[in-house]
Structure 1
Amino acid sequence: MSPLFPALAAGSTRPALQFGDQALSHAELATVAGALAARIAGAPRVAVWATPTLGTAVGVVAALLAGVPVVPVNPKTGERELTHIVTDSSPALVLAERGVELPPILAELARLDTDVNHVTDATGVPRETGPATAPPTEPSPEAPALIVYTSGTTGPPKGVVLPRRAVAATLDALEDAWQWSEADVLVHALPLFHVHGLILGILGPLRRGGSVRHLGRFATDGVARELSSGATMLFGVPTMYHRIAEALADDPALAKALTGARLLVSGSAALPVHDHERIAAATGRRVIERYGMTETLMNTSVRADGEPRAGTVGVPLAGVALRLVDETGAEIAAYDGDTVGEIQVRGPNLFTEYLNRPDATDAAFDDGWFRTGDMAIRDPDGYVRIVGRKATDLIKSGGYKIGAGEIENVLLEHPGVREAAVTGEPDEDLGERIVAWIVPAQADAPPSAEELAAHVGAQLASHKRPRTVRYLDALPRNDMGKIMKRALGG
């Protein structure tokens, strides 16, 4: 297997990482990460306190150079969950920014600071670094690269063991789908303990030999500034793009900056169609969506050279096999834009196992196909449309199987709706009734339940109309902006 980061091995002087006023070229990153890699080589695992900083990126790259599996830790993780993660993964030491106070369970571990001050000064100008550390031999493609913990919605979080093969395969498939090159400069403000922000948003540019500018914290003026000064790509989650859509009408500089971007990518949850349309109307640019999860990394995407169709996650990536199955496990052959099935995937992008959970690993697979739990339909041309999760978004009402996602998209097109979620709840007559949870655009003048039902009925089949509407001030969301439907009772 070739090195994960060819530009580091080649000593490229192109910019690699920028976090505020700290920046490193690929050659400088190779030096500082290589020195740290030499110190941790041989460790069974390391935890990285994943703040949105240059030190976090350096720590992760150092561990990958050393062939040591990385356990990214969300700094906002609660005590009980953090205790489970540390106990389950047993890291030998923790990498963290100098001066950061760690919780007690991590403070008990040996600690190495991911200090980059000896490489750059406050303005990012390189200091004398000395000779680069010789890179270690590239580990096996099946060697663990990262252990990323799931959200734990159905029990304690599970450690997803991602091999180096999966990281390389996904990033190379996205090179093809997105025409991603060393000339691209990515801007984002995603957290660095998650697949989206860390693997796609940091390791992706490094593997391509390009660069990433991390905002630290999302702000539309930061997006405008970076896209107006050389950045070519933007990664975000729907919450971020919603804020962009809201700001565009009063921010011509933001609209101009987005117009000049080569690629706008949204992921981690579905981007509402009305936000797609508002951004396209103001900028002439379409946001594209992709579909992945911790266990599989990326499965599908709208291609840069394909039709940027709102409401879809595109087609399977190179090397990824995708099928839909019904409740009996039988494969669904239909590409009719209507038949709902569970997505199963297989390919080099898949994880190896759930750490210390052979039972869960076995249950996750069906003869080599990973059971995603996501429900979808396929258009005649192969575009995939996610309609929800099997556990919370497949509603069986009146003999029909209904995906919550398509109803949510229609509700969000109503001018009186700011946010929407759809769940099912028991109904003696229908089996389940459709419930819409609505955050109105104007709290003092919410659209009526009858108006919303008629709105949905005019766009979709009548059996997909919400039977109950409940109004909220805000929908419960996690750190990645995903709606937590279990908190709604869904």
Structure 2
Amino acid sequence: MSTLFPALTNPGERPALRFGDRSLTYAELGAAADALAVRCVGAGRVAVWATSSLETAVAVIAVLRAGVAAVPLNPKSGEKELGHILTDSAPTLVLAAPGDELPSPLRHLERIDVDVRGAGVDAGPDVSPGDEDPALVVYTSGTTGPPKGAVIPRRAIAATLDALADAWEWTVDDVLVHGLPLFHVHGLVLGILGPLRRGGSVRHLGRFSTEGVTRELNDGATMMFGVPTMYHRIAETLPDDPELVKSLGRARLLVSGSAALPVHDHERITSATGRRVIERYGMTETLMNTSVRADGEPRAGTVGVPLPGVELRLVEEDGTPLALYDGESVGEIQVRGPNLFTEYLNRPDATAAAFTSDGWFRTGDMAVRDPDGYVRIVGRKATDLIKSGGYKIGAGEIENALLEHPGVREAAVTGEPDPDLGERVVAWIVPTDPQSPPELGELADHVASRLAPHKRPRVVHHLSELPRNDMGKILKRSLTHD
């Protein structure tokens, strides 16, 4: 019996999962998962058609109970990407909700329809998986080539969820609400497996809406997980929605992740509700690395301090660790700890390149660290580190400054070659009023007065919207100007 979910060992009638008007108690979840798990034992890797549904949650729990690895599939993946993932991971089964139509790359696999009311087995599967055995193979977004399958062991899931329980004071009494997709770490590991490891419950909205958030927080939910686009919608809605204000004020914990939440949205939510959104930092390969703690200072614009068991350092370009954490010096984040993945599936070259010789994982994220340990992400090494006039500049802090301008609704910052500076700062702006967008001089002065003159944008492009992925992350490689 899996020790990932102690509450399923002797399940009772406590609520476990709710998706819309469909729900399962721990006893019902245990029965359904065990009935499915016995069919998955020895299957190697099992694909899960990861819609935002009760069936997906039951399927993943069943695969973990069977001691094999689940491969969550994004239902929005194109056939080429899906074909690559299936060839690479070579699952022997696919689990899906009854009635779901699967695309052609999946049709050669044996399919099992997930029965969330399944029962009829006397006992769960007789397996004893080890801590290092694979639990999930989660595919990265593939921004620099075909997606890579990060093999996440059971040890990493347990370590991350227990560290978050410590940081967030997460208990059996917490009820989580979220509307995140279930094919990635945030929505699946934190949002579904997290509550179930604690013995608490989760209510999934199906699709995110401020009305759904209001309803669930007013009906006893204590925590909410979201991405910045969701909190931005909340911030925009709050002035005209007193019920939403009241419901957020009842929440014990509001958590944002997957990308940086602009300081402007932090401030609007806190001003309206008295509640602060806290941020955490993780990635597919490492699960969670840092978080603002429930008992710590909720400092807007930071991702808090390293979680228990996680080592974190910032390094120079040559790999030398920064000697001083002064809140200004930029370095690449490297991490080490029980939260890390095992390997990239079938990619020993990529796995070796991802780690230093002494076992630190190279995240590719750039940050500064305050003397008291708080970490502030300034961007990705590949797209957000701008070297201009001898300075290393993080795009994230410029974006936050731009978002404080009343004429800016959305902002992204990139660098482009400059014969004099090396690179110049380029701002991509969605104006509040498209008929009267703020001009370059005004925005440059605005940034220079808040940060430093060398961080001001030298070029501004006005857009109707910024390109984003399913998680709301801005796709900076798509920002080009003819």
Q: Given the two structures, how large is their TM-score scaled by the length of structure 1?
A: 0.97
Letter of the 1:369 partner, please give it.
W
> What secondary structure is seen at the aligned counterpart in 2 of 1:249?
helix
Pick one of 304, 309, 316 that aligns with 1:326. Answer: 316
Pair 1:429 & 2:408 matched: no
Among candidates 290, 304, 326, match of residue 300 of structure 1? 290
Q: Distance in 2 between matches of 1:417 and 1:377?
A: 25
Task: Tell me the secondary structure at the aligned position of residue 441 of structure 2.
Answer: helix
Cross-structure match for 2:140: 150
The percent of aligned pairs where both chains have the same amino acid is 75
1:3/1:138 contact within 8 Å kept: no
2:468 paired residue number:
477
Amino acid at match of 1:399: G
- Superposition map of 1:75-474 within 5 A: 75-116=75-116, 118=117, 129=119, 133-366=123-356, 367-474=358-465
Q: Do the aligned residues in 2 keep the contact of 1:237 with 1:480 (CA within 8 Å)? A: yes
Contact 1:50 1:192 in 2 (8 A): yes
Q: Structure 1 262/135 Cα, relative in aligned 2: closer, same or farther at 3 Å?
A: farther
| RMSD over aligned Cα atoms | 1.1
Residue 46 (str. 1) matches residue 46 (str. 2): yes
Deviations 1:165-223 (A, max 9, x none): 00000000000000000000000000000100000000000000000000000100000
Distance 1:40 1:378 in 2: 45
Number of residue-to-residue matches in the alignment: 480
* CA contact 2:35–2:120 (8 Å) conserved in 1: no
Q: State the match for 2:61 in structure 1.
A: 61
Which ranges of structure 2 fall in alignment gaps of 5 or more residues? none
Query: What is the identity, as a one-letter code, of the residue corresponding to 2:110?
Result: A
Measured after TM superposition, the shift of residue 115 of structure 1 is 1.9
Contact 1:457 1:465 in 2 (8 A): yes
Please tell me whether the aligned partners of residues 174 and 221 of structure 2 are also in contact (alpha carbons under 8 angstroms): yes
Aligned-partner Cα distance in 1 for 2:293–2:309: 15
Tell me whether 133-142 or 471-480 shows the greater mean CA deviation: 133-142
In structure 2, distance between residues paired with 1:33 and 1:78: 29
Give the Cα separation in 2 of the matches to 1:168 and 1:304.
20
Q: Deviations for 1:319-343, whole angstroms, at most 9, x for unmatched residues?
A: 0000000011000021111000000
Structure 1 segments of 4+ aligned residues over 4 angstroms from their partners: 129-132
Aligned partners of 1:30 and 1:132 also within 8 Å: no
Please state how far the C-alpha of 1:10 moved relative to its aligned partner.
1.8
Shift of 1:289: 0.1
List alignment gaps of at least 5 residues for structure 1: 120-128
Equivalent residue letter for 2:181: P
Distance apart, 1:26 and its partner CA? 1.1
Rounded to whole Å, the distance in 2 between the matches of 1:344 and 1:406 is 20
State the TM-score, normalizing by the size of structure 2: 0.98
Paired residue for 1:122?
none
CA–CA distance in structure 2, aligned partners of residues 189 and 433 of structure 1: 38
**Aligned AA for 1:459?**
R
Asked whether the 8 Å contact 1:56–1:96 carries over to 2, the reply is yes
Q: How far apart are the structure 2 equivalents of 1:263 and 1:11?
A: 26
Distance 1:447 1:104 in 2: 48
What letter matches 2:287 in structure 1? L
The CA deviation at 1:40 is 1.1
CA distance in 2, matches of 1:244, 1:18: 22
Name which of structure 1's ranges 440-449 and 287-296 shifts more when overlaid on structure 2. 440-449
Listed one character per residue, the Cα deviations across residues 35-90 of structure 1 (whole Å, up to 9, x for unaligned) are 10001111011000000000000000000000110000000001110000000000
Contact 1:320 1:349 in 2 (8 A): yes
**The residue matched to 1:10 in structure 2 has which SS?**
coil
Amino acid at match of 2:124: A
Q: Secondary structure at the match of 2:155?
A: helix
AA matched with 2:313: R
Which AA in structure 1 matches 2:378? V
Conserved 8 A contact 2:2-2:64: no
- Secondary structure, in 3 states, of the residue corresponding to 2:290? strand
Report deviation, 1:302. 0.1
C-alpha separation in 2, matches of 1:287 and 1:91: 39
Would you say the 8 A contact 1:215–1:222 is kept in 2?
yes
Between the aligned partners of 1:31 and 1:2, the Cα distance in structure 2 is 14
Secondary structure (helix, strand or coil) at the match of 1:186 reads strand
- 1:101-126 per-position Cα deviation (integer Å, ceiling 9, x unaligned): 0001111100000122x35xxxxxxx
Letter in 2 for 1:253: E
Name the SS for the 2:9 alignment partner. Answer: helix
Which whole-Å CA distance do the structure 2 matches of 1:93 and 1:101 have between them? 15
